[in-house]
Amino acid sequence: MKIDIVTIFPDYLAPLELSLVGKARETGLLDVRVHDLRNWTHDRHRTVDDTPYGGGAGMVMKPDVWGDALDDVASDAGTGPAPRLIVPTPAGVPFTQGMAAELADEPWLVFACGRYEGIDARVVQDAATRMRVSEISIGDYVLNGGEVAALVMIEAVVRLLPGVVGNPESLREESHGEDGLLEYPVYTKPPSWRGLQVPEVLLSGHHGRVARWRRDQALRLTAQRRPDLIDKLDPDALDDHDRSV
Ligand code: 6GU
C-alpha cells in the first residue's frame, strides 16, 4: 500500500517511523511519503490561509495551494488509477473498524491534513471529480488539525494489511472485532499479584469454560460501557446464556 500525507507540519507524522508502521515501511509492505503543503505556495511568505468569506473567527486554507498540491501528489505521473483521498475533519463521517478494513483494501491513500478552521470547500468538490473522497472524523471532539487523526486512521489501517501483524489470530478476538463486543479482560503470570487473583477459570485448562467466561465478561463490559453496541448486535447471534448475563 502507498500512503501520501500532505500537511503544514511534516514533523507531526514522525511516529510513522516507529513500531509496527515503521516496520511495515522497512519491509516494503508500506510506502509512506509526507509532503509539506508549503512547497505549493506561491508567495514569499509561503501563505497557506486567508480570511473566511462571510466573516467569523479563524482562517481558512487556500484552495489554490491545496489544488496544486493534490494535483501533484495524486497524479503519480498520470499513470494508473487515482488514489482514494481522505480528508480528516471533525465534520466528517465517523471512522470505524469497518472503514479501516475498507481502506486497507485500497492500494493508494492520500491524506489531506487541514489546520485552522478547515480547507476551502471547493478543494474537496474539485478533487471529487477525479477521485473518491471521504471526509472522516475520528470522534466527537475537536483537534487542532488533521495530523493526529491521520495517524490514528493510518495505524488502524496498516495493522490490517497482510503480513503486518505477526499473528493474524490476534486481529480476530479484539474489541470492535467480528463479534461486535468489547474485549474481555486479560491476565498473565503471576497468578497472584498484590493480593489480586487471576480468575480461577483461566487456570483450569478447561477450554469450554474459558470461552464461556470470556464471552460473559465481554457482554457485561459492553453492556456497561457501550450499550449502543449491544443494541446493534444480531439477536440471532445471542444464545440463552448470553441473555442471562
Ligand atoms: Cl479528523 N480532525 C480534527 N481537526 N478534529 C477532529 C477530527 C479530525 N476528528 C475528531 N476531531
CATH number at residue 198: 1.10.1270.20
Among the residue ranges 58-62, 77-81, 238-242, the one predicted with the least confidence is 77-81
Please tell me the total count of domains within the chain.
2
Q: Which residues of 33-56 are buried (b: 16+ CB within 10 A; e: fewer)?
A: ebbebeebbeeeeeebbeeeeeee
- CA distances from residue 72 to 6, 85, 186, 233 in whole angstroms, order as listed: 11, 13, 47, 44
Q: Is residue 165 part of a domain?
A: no
Is the separation of the CB atoms in 135 and 113 below 8 Å? no
Q: Is residue 50 part of a domain?
A: yes
Q: ipTM for the complex?
A: 0.94
Specify the pLDDT at position 173.
Answer: 67
Specify the pLDDT at position 171.
Answer: 75
pLDDT tens-digit readout, 43-56:
999 999 999 999 99
Pairing assessment for the beta strands 108-112 and 2-7 based on DSSP bridges: parallel
**8 contact partners, CB below 8 Å, separation of at least 6:** 36, 37, 38, 48, 113, 115
Domain extent, residue 195, equals: 173-244
| Atom from ligand 1 closest to the CA of residue 145 | 4
Mean pLDDT, the chain, rounded, equals: 95
pLDDT tens-digit readout, 166-197:
777 777 667 787 899 999 999 999 999 999 99
Q: How far is the CA of 194 from the centre of ligand 1 (A)?
A: 40
Specify the pLDDT at position 17.
Answer: 93
To test the ligand 1 pocket, which listed residue (61, 89, 147) has its Cβ within 8 A of the most ligand atoms? 89
- Pair (177, 238) in one structural domain: yes
pLDDT above 70: percentage of residues in the chain: 99
Q: How far is the CA of 87 from the centre of ligand 1 (A)?
A: 10
- Pair (150, 177) in one structural domain: no
Give residues (CB < 6 A) around ligand 1.
88-90, 92, 137-139, 141-143, 145-146, 149
- Reduced to 3 states (helix: H, G, I; strand: E, B; else coil), residue 96 is coil
- Pair (119, 30) in one structural domain: yes
CATH number at residue 134: 3.40.1280.10
What is the pTM assigned to this prediction? 0.94
Sign of CA dihedral 41, 44, 46, 50: negative
Q: How far is the CA of 180 from the centre of ligand 1 (A)?
A: 24
